[in-house]
Amino acid sequence: MCGCYASLMIVLLQEHWLLPFEMDILANFHGDFLAAGSSAVGISQYVLVGRPYGGNGILYRRKITKPISVLTTDEPRLTAIRLMTKDGPVLI
């Protein structure tokens, strides 16, 4: 992996194309990062349903885990975290 990731703390992803059972790929992307995300593809039937190239996610460094809360949404096209700062919460 190149050194360009060295200073990134939070990475926002869209259109990752992962199916629901592949979401652990985000969590295993890099050892320094944790992940939250969703797939926009429904697999409850024999045929894939939903946007075939959807999905989003948020990667954040393990060292800033304490001030971050992963928020639950009822929308598969939305992933959100709350970052607590000295000035108050920030919704990402």
pLDDT above 70 coverage of the chain, percent = 84
pLDDT of residue 42 exceeding 90: no
Higher pLDDT: 17 or 13? It is 13
Q: Where are the domains of the chain?
A: 3-91
pLDDT of residue 77 exceeding 90: no
- How confident is the model over 23-35, as a mean pLDDT? 91
Q: Report the pLDDT value the prediction gives residue 92, as an integer from 0 to 100.
A: 94
Label residue 79 by pLDDT band (50, 70, 90).
very high
Tell me if residue 19 falls in helix, strand or coil. Answer: coil
Question: What is the strand order of the sheet 56-61 is part of?
Answer: 10-14, 56-61, 33-38
Please state, in angstroms and rounded to a whole number, the distance separating the CA atoms of residues 74 and 42.
Answer: 14
